[in-house]
Structure 1
């Protein structure tokens, strides 16, 4: 990043949406200024830079705001060419985008349903979630990372599974959605990414995240 560049990120430490933006920047070695938001009392700057959705994350580059995490990730990759996250091949890029949407629109959406509904509905959600996690796991077959032999765009997206879903299971009293026995390939991938220094420096503190999630699960109205 040029010395004249000004880069800001507005986020929430518990949000995998904003944390994935930070990870992308860290993987590229880009310096930025971080602003932690209180979503119950949003800052004037957040409302200024994202007046449409009024949500995090927002990246502001030289005064120009970019919202929505998937859009931000692509902006980062296109603006700073070092350590590319997305594949260069057009088909591989399209497939990375497809699976990224699959993670957000299917896996994350189902995981969010775990805290609501009856016990029977929760069981059905777990079974459906396992089915889709297995589909995603198949994309890792024979590879070190989703991106191939190095961490990439889809790996950044999938950290929600490694560092949020796994922790959420513990926070919900040992709820068993995914285990190493059921998903050996995913767990080997988790082992690999946790050996990457940048990822370990970035990952949310486990105990602190468990405490936050326990409070959230106990109070449906909590932020």
Structure 2
């Protein structure tokens, strides 16, 4: 077997989704932690010279970058526990939601980075994004693709280990049971899956990490005003 290595950063939702995919597939891999944001290893820069970012998957000496691309690669190479449906239309729907969630959740973090009115605006935007995901993406299903975790679920998984601690640090709750009953149920279902539950970063450690980040945003927002 060709060896598999993953370059990641422990709180990163982008490397986390790749870890989950590898675990779901039962693929043995070596995990290499990058010391971000302070420094990047020469190997990381060598394997991902374009973006110079994690995650990077190295399979048999060949590098694959960008988490969505990596997830599709993993699904293409290891057929067990498929992340994408067989049906071409269902597959395109899954890809659509994975991409939509990936793009939108990057802006969702703004409520954590902003203060005052800008933060209020960001929260309003987030609620709209979540409404769209709940109504059109998840609907009445247990997971985005039905009964089993698939590509969009892994991408949306950041809400359980990153969004929840962010909410805690900021003091805002976005996904409430009464406002988003389906997403709320999804969070519970997703976080209780053994592969997910056994592979989330320590909550308190994430909180400590985020408190430092939040403070740095606060300082830079003062400097900018």
Give unmatched runs, 5+ long, in structure 1: none
Question: 2:96 maps to what in 1?
Answer: 98
Q: Structure 1 length as normaliser, TM-score?
A: 0.92
User: Which residue of 1 is the match for residue 206 of structure 2?
Assistant: 209
Partner of 1:56: 54
Q: Is the 8 A contact 1:21 1:73 kept in 2?
A: yes
1:60–1:66 contact (8 Å) kept in structure 2 = yes
Report the equivalent of 1:155.
153
Other-structure match for 1:176: 173
Shift of 1:141: 2.1
Give the Å deviation of 1:19: 0.7
Q: How does 1:1-223 map to 2 (within 5 A)?
A: 4-39=1-36, 40-109=38-107, 111-138=108-135, 139-172=137-170, 174-220=171-217
Displacement after TM superposition at 1:108 (Å): 2.5
What is the total number of aligned residue pairs between the two structures? 217
| Contact 1:85-1:151 within 8 A present in 2 as well | yes
1:44-93: per-residue Cα shift (whole Å, max 9, x none)?
Answer: 11111111111100000000000000100000000000100011111111
Query: 2-side partners of 1:118 and 1:204: how far apart?
Result: 26
Query: Given that residues 171 and 211 in structure 1 are in contact (C-alpha distance below 8 angstroms), is that contact kept between their aligned partners in structure 2?
Result: no
**What TM-score comes out, normalization by structure 2 length?**
0.92
Instruction: Provide the rounded CA distance (Å) in 2 between the counterparts of 1:50 and 1:136.
Output: 31
How far 1:113 moved relative to its partner? 1.4
Q: 1:171-218 CA distances to partner (integer Å, 9 max, x unpaired)?
A: 22x223222221111111111112211111111111111111111111
What stretches of structure 2 of length at least 5 have no aligned partner? 221-225
Calculate the aligned-residue CA RMSD, in Å: 1.5
Question: Does the 8 A contact of 2:138 with 2:183 survive in 1?
Answer: yes
What is the distance in 1 between the residues matched to 2:33 and 2:25?
21
Q: Distance in 1 between matches of 2:60 and 2:160?
A: 33
Q: Distance in 2 between matches of 1:45 and 1:80?
A: 25
